[in-house]
Amino acid sequence: MTALALDEKHASDLDARDELRTLREQFHIPPAPGGRYSDAAYFAGNSLGLQPKVIAPRVAGELADWARLGVEGHLEGNRPWVAYHELLREPAARLVGAQPAEVVVMNSLTVNLHLMMVSFYRPTPERHAIVIEDTAFPSDSYAVRSQAAFHGYDPDEAVIRLRPREGETSLRNEDVVAALERDGDRVALVLLGGVNYYSGELLDIETITRAGRAAGAVVGWDLAHAAGNVPLQMHDWGVDWAAWCSYKYLNSGPGSLAGAFVHERHLADRTLPKFAGWWSTEPATRFRMGPVVEEVDSADSWQLSNPPILAMAPVLASLEMFDAVGMAALRAKSMRLTAYLESVLDASSVGPAAQIITPRDPQRRGAQLSVRVSDIAAGTVTERLRHGHGVFADARQPDVVRLAPAPMYNTFHDCWRAATALAEVMSDRAG
């Protein structure tokens, strides 16, 4: 097993048998800044996904419509802009396992977290806590703290940060459930990452949602690292709301537009507090320009502005790619790819100086392995990986290196390269 995992030809054989191998040709793969190969082995798709080749012509098409039609592009042209966001509804719904009316693509992720909390964080003196993970992405931490403060509560008291057990590196689902059972009567909102950005852990969204709701809390999920990474069933799992960005696994470009999900049971609830804009109102009467919003029974009712079409075109193109392959096939390849990366890391015996902190159970992780390094800074490791080996990885200082094999474009050979390069960097670290 060890010898096989370290065999470069074995990696190439796995690629030759991979049914999704031609997807890679649909992407621009950056050149390698160093090492033996001309292309980079790109493992930073959990931070910024690679650019699909179809995006440039799709954006150029919108620019051409604008040049040719001016304002009439709203109603004419290939994909008239007034209704453009509706083209994203169905593919976005399939991606997260939602009904079409439950999703909308708009804004950026942190903005959507706030818009969702306007409606779904409704604290009272008895029940105002917000539960997050201790390793929550900083933007989520800042967002929930600012929401608690906005409502007049002390964020240090209101925000409960869930920590792994002593000596462990990820949460246990049963511990999250136990915490909700124990403290649930003071919890107003649970906001967790479906896949944690740091450890790569995939939480049991369905079970935790059930426990949170049973405790009387509203349960929201940040799917930044889950959308396009793992299959999701937000509707069936009964999730109250969710939000995600589209520039990580969804390859829609730096800072690209985000998504939001609101469960059907909330869509016609006129008592929810909400901020409104002209894109919140009923589209059939929008251009009568009346003084009062006519609410719609869909997630569109959380929209504010007319969407930035040049930013939305890449999201639509990317969603079409996910639709064409399907999350089931992507997840199947992803699990094989990540397990293979793990086996080469294990076999290349970098030893205790490089420890995988992501759960070892493939059901409890997405397309990411986080490696804790010692005696060398994580940033030095990723520098040497990139310049010495053409491997793009991501450093979370001081000591975590994240490697994300994305099934859309990464190969088994990329995994072999990344793991053997890491072993080399680690064994040379003293020098």
Ligand X SMILES: *Cc1c(COP(=O)(O)O)cnc(C)c1O
Strands 391-392 and 258-262, sheet pairing: unpaired
Minimum distance, C-beta of residue 236 to ligand X, in the bound complex (Å): 23
Minimum distance, C-beta of residue 319 to ligand X, in the bound complex (Å): 17
Strands (E), 128-186: 129-133, 159-162
Q: Given candidates 43, 84, 120, 137, which one binds ligand X under the rule CB under 6 A?
A: 137
Q: Which two tokens stand for residue 126?
A: 């008895």
Beta pairing partners, 404: 44
What letter does residue 70 receive in the DSSP assignment? G
Q: Is residue 193 within the footprint of ligand X (CB under 6 A)?
A: yes
Q: Is residue 207 within the footprint of ligand X (CB under 6 A)?
A: no
Phi, psi of 332 (to 5 degrees): -60, -45
Minimum distance, C-beta of residue 413 to ligand X, in the bound complex (Å): 28
Q: Beta-carbon neighbour count of residue 265 at 10 Å?
A: 11
Q: CB neighbours of 234 closer than 8 A, spacing ≥ 6?
A: 96, 97, 98, 102, 205, 221, 242, 261, 263
Question: Omega into 398 within 30° of 0, i.e. cis?
Answer: yes
Residues in contact with ligand X, total (CB under 6 A)?
12
Of 92-100, 217-225, 284-292, 329-337, the window that binds ligand X (rule: CB under 6 A) is: 217-225
105 vs 86: CA distance, rounded Å:
9
Is 12 or 108 the residue whose CB approaches ligand X more closely? 108
Of 9-17, 162-170, 219-227, 405-413, the window that binds ligand X (rule: CB under 6 A) is: 219-227
For the window 139-178, what string marks contact with ligand X as x by the rule CB under 6 A? xx--------------------------------------
Q: Which two tokens stand for residue 208?
A: 């935790």
Contact 117, 146 (CB under 8 A): no
41 vs 33: CA distance, rounded Å:
10
Minimum distance, C-beta of residue 225 to ligand X, in the bound complex (Å): 5
Minimum distance, C-beta of residue 288 to ligand X, in the bound complex (Å): 34
For the window 339-368, what string marks contact with ligand X as x by the rule CB under 6 A? ------------------------------
Q: Which two tokens stand for residue 254?
A: 């730096």
In 3D space, the residue among 317, 290, 243 whose CA is nearest the CA of residue 78 turns out to be 317
Is 242 or 421 the residue whose CB approaches ligand X more closely? 242
Q: Given candidates 115, 191, 230, 245, which one binds ligand X under the rule CB under 6 A?
A: 245
Is 21 or 396 the residue whose CB approaches ligand X more closely? 396
Minimum distance, C-beta of residue 315 to ligand X, in the bound complex (Å): 13
Alpha carbon 268 to chain centroid, angstroms: 28
| Interaxial angle between packed helices 205-214 and 173-183, expressed in degrees from 0 to 180 and rounded to the nearest 10 | 10
Q: Given candidates 62, 133, 222, 295, which one binds ligand X under the rule CB under 6 A?
A: 222
What letter does residue 196 receive in the DSSP assignment? -
**Looking only at residues 75 through 114 of this chain, which bind ligand X when binding is defined by CB under 6 A?**
108-110
Is 221 or 279 the residue whose CB approaches ligand X more closely? 221
Is 46 or 343 the residue whose CB approaches ligand X more closely? 46
Q: Is residue 394 within the footprint of ligand X (CB under 6 A)?
A: no
260 vs 368: CA distance, rounded Å:
23
Minimum distance, C-beta of residue 298 to ligand X, in the bound complex (Å): 23
Tally the residues of the chain: 431
Contact 421, 391 (CB under 8 A): yes
In 3D space, the residue among 199, 185, 130, 201 whose CA is nearest the CA of residue 162 turns out to be 130
Minimum distance, C-beta of residue 383 to ligand X, in the bound complex (Å): 22
Minimum distance, C-beta of residue 425 to ligand X, in the bound complex (Å): 26
**Looking only at residues 224 through 243 of this chain, which bind ligand X when binding is defined by CB under 6 A?**
224-225
Start-to-end Cα distance in the chain: 30
Of 78-86, 161-169, 218-226, 392-400, the window that binds ligand X (rule: CB under 6 A) is: 218-226
Q: Is residue 197 within the footprint of ligand X (CB under 6 A)?
A: yes
Q: Is residue 402 within the footprint of ligand X (CB under 6 A)?
A: no
Minimum distance, C-beta of residue 93 to ligand X, in the bound complex (Å): 21
In 3D space, the residue among 153, 211, 149 whose CA is nearest the CA of residue 184 turns out to be 211
Interface residue list for ligand X (CB under 6 A): 108-110, 137, 139-140, 193, 197, 222, 224-225, 245
